[in-house]
Amino acid sequence: MATVYIGLGANIGNREANLRMALHGLTRMARVEAVSSLYQTDPVGSEEQPAFFNAVCRIETGLEPESLLRFLKSLEHEIGRRSGTERWGPRPIDVDILLYDERIVQGAELAVPHPRLGERAFVLVPLAEIGPGVRDPIRNQTIANLAQTIDTSGVRRIKNQGWDGVAGREGRVRL
C-alpha cells in the first residue's frame, strides 16, 4: 500500500459538496486517512473567476500512480469536469496527485511530486496541516519548510478539520 497526498479544489457549483463527493468517491479505491481543514483561496492563473475551495487528503491505496491518475480523472468526470476547458479556469472539481510515497514519477501524463507543489499556497497550507514532516523528494525539503517560503495571504481557513465527514478520528470512514 502506498501513502498518497491528494489535492482537491472546486470553484463552480456547490464547491463544498463537490469536494465531499470527491472524498467519498476516493473511498472506492483508497482508504482516506486524513483530511485537512477547508480553505477558500484566491484563483491562480485566470484571476476573473470565483474563489476556490481547497483541501488536501492523505490516502492509502494499492493503485500504482498511473492507475490512480486514471481513476481520479474518471472521478472528476463523474462530478462534472469536462476535458477541453480552459487551463486554470473555473471547474467543478480538480483532483491532483501531490505526493506518492517518496517516489518521483516523470511521465507524459503524470509528474509526481506535482510540478507546481512548491509554488502553490492553496496546496501547501492544507498539506502542511496534515503532513508537515513529509518531504518533497525533488526539493528535499519538508512540506512545513516549503509552506514557510510562500505568500499565504490568499488562503483563508473556513472550516476546521472534520468538515468532510469522511475521515473519522479512528481512521474509519463515516459517511
Query: Catalytic: 96?
Result: yes
Q: Which three cell numbers stand for residue 134?
A: 513529509
Active site residue 136: no
User: Looking at 58, 94, 120, 164, which residue is catalytic?
Assistant: 94
Active site residue 91: yes
Strand 38-41 with 52-61, pairing:
antiparallel
CA distance 92 to 104: 28
Residue 162 sits at φ, ψ, to 5 deg, of 105, -10
Query: Of 15, 20, 58, 81, which one is the catalytic site residue?
Result: 81
For the question of residue 94 being annotated catalytic, the response is yes
Determine which one of 15, 20, 58, 96 is catalytic.
Answer: 96
Q: Which of 15, 20, 58, 91 is catalytic?
A: 91
Q: Which helix (H) or strand (E) holds 126?
A: helix 121-130
Residues that are catalytic = 81, 91, 94, 96
